[in-house]
Amino acid sequence: MKEIEVHYPPEVLQEGEVPSDIRTEELVLNMGPQHPSTHGVLRVILQTDGELVLKATPYLGYLHRCAEKIAEKVTYRQFTPYTDRLDYLAAMNNNLGFALTVEKLGGIEIPPRADYLRVILAELNRIASHLMATGSYGLDMGAFTPLIYCFREREWIMDLFEAASGARLTYSYITIGGVREDVPEGWTQKCREFLDYFEPKITEYNNLLSFNHIFIQRTANVGICPPELALAYGLTGPCLRGSGVPWDLRKAMPYSRYGEFQFDIPVGRGTYGTVGDCWDRYFVRVEEMVQSVRIIRQALDKLADGPIQAKVPRVVKLPAGEVYYEVENPRGQLGFHLVSDGGTSPYRLKIRGPSFCNLSILPVLAPNCLLADIAALLGSIDIVMGEVDR
Amino acid sequence: MLETMIFVLFAGLAVVAGIAILLSTSIVRMAYWLITMLVAVAGLYFLMGAYFLGVMQILVYVGGVAVLLVFGVMLTSRQLAPTLRPGRAEALWLAAVAAVLLVGLVLSILHAHWQPGTIVPANSAAEIGHSLLGEFLGPFELVSVLLLVAMLGAAYLARPKAPTAGPQHIKETTVL
Amino acid sequence: MLTFERPPVEYKGLSRTIVRLATKWGGIGIPLLLRFAWGVFLAAVVVLIAFVWLVQHFINPLLPWFVRDFVVVVGLLAFVCIVAIIGIWGERKVSGRIQSRLGPMRTGAWHGWAQSLADGLKFVQKEDLIPAAADKPLFRLAPYLALVPAFCAYLAIPFGVGWVFREADVSLLFVLAMLAIEVLGVIMAGWASNSKWSLYGAMREGCQLVSYEIPMGLSLLAAVLSVGSLNLTELGEAQAGGWFAWLLFQNPFLFAAFFTYYIASLASCKRAPFDLPEGESELVAGFHTEYSGFRFVMFFFAEYAGMFAVSALATIIFLGGWGSPIGGPSSPLWFLAKSTFLVWVQMWVRWTLPRIRIDQVMHACIKYLLPFTLLLFIGSSFWQLYASPAHPLFASLARLLPYGLGTLGLLLLGLYFFGAGYGYYYRNRLVGQMARRHLPGA
Amino acid sequence: MMGLTPYLILSAILLVLGIAIVISKRNAIAMLIGVEFILNAATLNLVAFSRHGIGALSGQTAALFVIVLAAAEAVVALAIFLNFYHTIATVDIDQGDQLKG
């Protein structure tokens, strides 16, 4: 046991700070479970003094669907569709995480084509998820248009996914032992077309939203999360990298074929404010989209014909034992702790949802924010309630 | 005839507003009745041809009352409101004093002998401006200084004091 | 194969007739009109000119005064309604085009022209909902307190010489006063709803409007100072004589004052980036969270009436009012065209910029806008003082300046039209092939 | 054309109402509302006199001054109430009997 003194950011408000002395009646504000900027059925109880938030307490569980308990009742293959519904904006990555966990315990070898397809689709899904995150972050800030633009591009990715898997949101495409079926004829060409189209669009969004003066004023120096605090609270993904910690599982502990690709880890640099503010967390996502495009290009180059499925029986039986495996999801590290007693379904499956851990920082960062900053903060943490509540 | 009707309308509105404020317990409703009275008085100014004054009345007081409303909402809790009304004995005393005062005033108004001069035609904003910067230049400058002093005084009174009284700056120790 | 049948949406009674007629008439009539678009346009211009002539020669010197008043009030009411209805539809089309969508396309068959009407019908039929804990009289009164002053502002706004309900000495101040009263309706709505989100919206509106009224008024007063009248008709007439006679170009301070006025007017209309009172991502829907049905429509109408009113003020005071920029005859049509352009810019800004935070709103007003407009006011009055024959050198410079500023304005306008044309010409490339592929009818 | 008397009587009624409000209310902000009544009664008088030829335009000008002063008065009063609220957490005037801040 070690005590860590957590130093809170001294001042969240910069200019025009609400004078700390004018205190009026405190108000308890029930934000959610139905609220436009809680991104799902999150309920946050805010204690406010006028516009100033004194305390924020998130209440979870509105979307709890017993995913972990269900896992004990179904076979390994049957659980794949349930992983779709964890982080429903990044279903491919969830599939990948679960498949890798099972394969690790079962010692299943994957053919290279399946591996590259997995990487391509997981990275495409990362782009789709980040598009959703950045677009809806604009909406949280009151800019409606970037959301529609981001959805326009996301639509193309959805089309690609639909062509590959037949589904547009819950794919169950990456299964144990490979991928469910091969991508159709001409799919890689379409994918390259998308990348060529998409890359210049990122600059466009930056000009429209990221470098917009008002947007910077709203997000820079808001909700500052210093690196120590981020590490202490177990933040992962863009939230951690936004605080300036260059930690990415794809680089640090490469899984699948990620070790073969050239890409950088974007980190928050405090360009317009302090390292770890909302703008940094937001911009890390934008930069990650560029890196994802790089990875997909390399993977597409390496994609060769071959089998897409390892020889795995219909009902997977794993040896007794336990394994913990983590993958880098768009929102952070998604971990599966799988305990098997040698049967056809897990004895216990513990899921570490990145959104859940990232959300834990909210009560720490929220005090001293303005009411509007709560929307900025929640949006920059980018939670998906399906994964928080599981 | 029309003038009398309009006068009765506005005068009635103003008086009703005053009585409603006396009876009301909600500070926000009081503020809205105040606005009713102010608009009614502005209407009377229009009736008397003092257009500039009527418009200024609305323009200045709307902002003023809006601020009043904001403060009223901020500083008054709903639970507290009903306790802030006078008791029965107080109300009786009040009614008696008010009645005496009113009767005295009305009697003196009716018995005074006003000697109306010529009816002044509707005054334009320009004339008031000239009189402000001519005949009333001294008071005008004084008022502007007073406004400045009031602004500074208000800012001084409502200034943030020592930073120690800031919002709960919870220092937590996390055990890992 | 399993199919799910959805019961068809049925309009009933009068609304059914209206929607059917609108769709039928729109479906047949508007394409026909479009086929003869130029003819229809010319006919419309002729009809409008005839209408103008009719009003000037028959309605204005009309009959007993109350008949004229009645006609004009009814006309203004209709005008405000039309502004709101077209404004709401236009806003949705504009936002759609900005976001590479189409906006409403179905109701009325031609570009969804009857969408606002259909929405209005829907709102009228909605249940009249008042929250149980609401302050009911105030809750009922609030929409009127928001809409009626916004309408009253039109009583003093001249659409042309003689095109005004009441010629008043202080019509500018009257319009400002009426626009200011709207804040009380909003605060009333927010407080009476007995919802915390509404209350937040109301408090924000209170702070915002009271602060921005001052730079707004000061910017206008800088212009008033150079004409020497508070009468809107006189202010408009003072700029007769085309583009370079506009007050906007008369001196550099007025040029800047136009922009400060426009920013402040955005705040006073609760338009983005100052739409905090109803900021939907923070306050659900702000002050009108608890409102539905026709009461909500009235807030909407008030907003659009207010938008047009502030644009009309800017047009009259800075942009030459009803005067033609190219030196032709002045007409209320010019006034409408200029005001509509300013309304469109308001929409453009709204669909481009994020929202400002409340402390930044106050900060921007009190620390930047207010001192700046004060400076403009003082600067403009000194300009007035020195641009007299007593200072021949300065006066001649001042006489030349409108041409310089006017050219600058022309350049700005040209840049705008160039951008618009560029965007239109390359619309495929800008939006991207894929986006167009997904649009209906592509 | 109406005479002077109705305006004066209305003004007297408003004055009495204002005084009654100031006396009866314990909420500081309500008292401010009463003060506004009193001031408006006074301005109504001034304008009425000016309208009927007593003192010419000075009535209107004085009324303008009163409006301005009322605004200043409200500002200072609200600032005082704010301080009052900070000290004793209420706007009940009866609680303010400590003579120290």
Domain ranges of chain A: 75-317
From edge to edge, which strands make up the β-sheet containing A332-340?
Answer: A321-329, A332-340, A348-352
The letter for the amino acid at C171 is: S
Query: Which residue shows structure tokens 């109701």?
Result: C107
| Chain D touched by A21 (CB under 8 Å) | yes
Q: How many domains does chain C fold into?
A: 2
How many Å apart are CA C205 and CA C315, to the nearest integer? 25
Percent of chain C at pLDDT exceeding 90 = 6
Mean pLDDT of D13-41: 85
The reply to whether C51 and C92 lie within a common domain is no
End residue of a domain, out of C350, C368, C386: C386
Asked whether the beta carbons of residue B29 and residue C169 sit closer than 8 angstroms, the reply is: no
Nearest CB partner across the interface for B71, out of D18, D34, D78: D78
How many Å apart are CA A190 and CA A160, to the nearest integer? 8
Per-residue model confidence (pLDDT) at position A2: 44
Q: Which residues pair with A58 in a beta bridge?
A: A44
Q: Best residue in C171, C188, C212, C214 to probe B by mutation, most B CBs within 10 Å?
A: C188
Element (H, E) at A293: helix A278-302
Query: Which residue shows structure tokens 């230049």?
Result: B137
Per-residue model confidence (pLDDT) at position A126: 92
Domain residue spans of chain D = 5-89
CA distance B11 to chain D (A): 7
Strands (E), chain B: 173-175
Mean pLDDT of B34-59: 86
| Chain A touched by C351 (CB under 8 Å) | yes
| Chain C touched by B125 (CB under 8 Å) | yes
Q: Best residue in A18, A24, A49 to probe D by mutation, most D CBs within 10 Å?
A: A24
Asked whether the beta carbons of residue C273 and residue A156 sit closer than 8 angstroms, the reply is: no
Q: Which C residues in the span 228-267 are in contact with B, Cβ-Cβ below 8 Å?
A: 230
Task: Tell whether C130 is covered by a domain.
Answer: yes
Q: Which of A20-34, A69-83, C225-239, C284-298 has the highest mean pLDDT?
A: A69-83
Topology, domain A75-317? Cytochrome-c3 Hydrogenase; chain B (1.10.645)
Q: How confident is the model at residue C109 (pLDDT cuts 50, 70, 90)?
A: low
User: How do A52-59 and A174-175 pair as beta strands?
Assistant: unpaired
Task: Tell whether C435 is covered by a domain.
Answer: no
Query: Which residue shows structure tokens 């004229």?
Result: C68
The reply to whether C312 and C361 lie within a common domain is yes
D4: tokens are 């002077």
Which residues on chain D are in Cβ contact (under 8 Å) with B151?
Answer: 72, 75
Which has the closest alpha carbon to A379: A247, A242, A205, A201? Answer: A242
Per-residue model confidence (pLDDT) at position B165: 38
D35: tokens are 């003060």
Burial profile A218-228: b = 16 or more Cβ within 10 angstroms, e = fewer: bbbbbbbbbbe
Q: Which residues pair with D27 in a beta bridge?
A: D92
Query: Which residue shows structure tokens 């949280």?
Result: A140
The reply to whether C208 and C295 lie within a common domain is yes
Q: How confident is the model at residue C59 (pLDDT cuts 50, 70, 90)?
A: low
Please tell me whether the overall predicted TM-score, pTM, comes out greater than 0.90 for this model.
Answer: no
Nearest CB partner across the interface for B27, out of D29, D60, D85: D29
Angle at B149 between CA B148 and CA B152, to 5 degrees: 85
CA distance A22 to chain D (A): 8
* Minimum CA–CA partner of C175 in chain B: B55
ipTM: 0.80
Q: Which B residues in the span 58-97 are in contact with A, Cβ-Cβ below 8 Å?
A: 74-75, 77
How many Å apart are CA A374 and CA A352, to the nearest integer? 25
How many Å apart are CA B110 and CA B101, to the nearest integer? 14
CA distance B141 to chain D (A): 11
Mean pLDDT of C270-288: 81
pLDDT per position as a tens digit, C127-138 = 778 888 888 888
Is the domain spanning D5-89 CATH 3.30.830.10? The answer is no
* Minimum CA–CA partner of A55 in chain B: B168
Per-residue model confidence (pLDDT) at position C30: 63
How many Å apart are CA A131 and CA B9, to the nearest integer? 61
The reply to whether C50 and C87 lie within a common domain is no
Give every residue of chain A whose pLDDT is below 50, as ranges. Answer: 1-22
Q: Determine the 3-state secondary structure of A269 from DSSP.
A: coil
The letter for the amino acid at C100 is: S
Which has the closest alpha carbon to A355: A42, A9, A34? Answer: A42
The reply to whether C122 and C249 lie within a common domain is yes
pLDDT per position as a tens digit, A39-62 = 778 888 888 877 788 888 888 888
Which residues on chain C are in Cβ contact (under 8 Å) with A140?
Answer: 281
Query: Which residue shows structure tokens 């001069």?
Result: B117
Q: Best residue in A202, A217, A278, A369 to probe C by mutation, most C CBs within 10 Å?
A: A217
The reply to whether C228 and C352 lie within a common domain is yes
In contact, C295 and C377? CB cutoff 8 Å: no
| Chain C touched by B65 (CB under 8 Å) | yes
The letter for the amino acid at C371 is: P
pLDDT per position as a tens digit, C391-438 = 778 778 878 888 888 888 889 889 988 888 887 777 666 554 444 554
Lowest mean pLDDT across A85-89, B124-128, C243-247: B124-128
In contact, B123 and B47? CB cutoff 8 Å: no
| Chain D touched by A22 (CB under 8 Å) | yes
φ, ψ for residue A348, nearest 5 deg? -155, 140
In contact, C299 and C277? CB cutoff 8 Å: no
| Chain A touched by C358 (CB under 8 Å) | yes
Per-residue model confidence (pLDDT) at position C1: 36
CA distance A17 to chain B (A): 11
The reply to whether C23 and C167 lie within a common domain is no
Distance of CA B93 to the CA centre of its chain: 25
DSSP string across C223-286: HHHHHT---HHHHHHTT-SSGGGSGGGTSHHHHHHHHHHHHHHHHHTT-TTS-GGG-HHHHTTG
Structural domain range at position C322: 82-104+118-386
Per-residue model confidence (pLDDT) at position C50: 79
The reply to whether C94 and C32 lie within a common domain is no
Per-residue model confidence (pLDDT) at position C311: 92
| Chain A touched by D78 (CB under 8 Å) | no
